[in-house]
Amino acid sequence: MKIAICPGSFDPVTLGHLDIIERAAGLFDRVVVLVMSNSAKNCAFSIDERIDLLKKCIKNPNIEIDTYSGLLVDYAKQKGAVAIVKGLRAVSDFDYEFQQALINKSLYPKIETVFLAANSDNMFLSSSMVKEVCRLDGDISPFVPKEILNDIIKRCKGDI
């Protein structure tokens, strides 16, 4: 069984993330969406909240949601994963993602990083953009799964 990992902060999950996750599920037998903490980011949702938001939107039995606080490659080893799948939006993503792929490969040579090109509709879409538009009263419904629209609005407008 070929297992792939889609890692990220998912703060919160957007339609851009979901597109990559679903396309990964079409290429591999099983996909693990791995919610990771990122010290460089000041997250709006806790890890448990981000997991709950993902669970509301993902019903495919071949996709599981998990979290890990250590090195991604250590999780990949434990899980027997063969690939890390990442979405690439623009050249601006490339430097960072390429560096991560090289580091992961040197730490664990058996792992491959697979880049999927973002869908053209999602090229500009990021979790931070969604949160900013929402805070400023913009309509975020074209960018996020409908199942979690209200959760995001509540959090970004400070109602909870």
Catalytic residues: 17, 41, 89, 127
Per-residue binding letters, 80-99, with ligand ADP (x by CB under 6 A): ------xx-x---x------
What Å distances lie between residue 150 and 12, 62, 93, 134, 155, CA to CA? 12, 26, 29, 11, 9
Quick one: which segment of 6-14, 23-31, 60-68, 150-158 binds ligand ADP (CB under 6 A)? 6-14
By CB under 6 A, residue 17 contacts ligand ADP: yes
- Please, are residues 54 and 65 in contact by the beta-carbon 8 Å criterion? yes
By CB under 6 A, residue 64 contacts ligand ADP: no
Distance between CA atoms of 13 and 119, rounded to whole angstroms? Answer: 16
- Near ligand ADP in 110-139, by CB under 6 A: 118, 122, 125-127
Distance between CA atoms of 57 and 75, rounded to whole angstroms? Answer: 23
- Please, are residues 134 and 152 in contact by the beta-carbon 8 Å criterion? yes
Question: Where along the sequence are the contacts to ligand ADP (CB under 6 A)?
Answer: 8-10, 14, 16-17, 20, 38, 86-87, 89, 93, 118, 122, 125-127
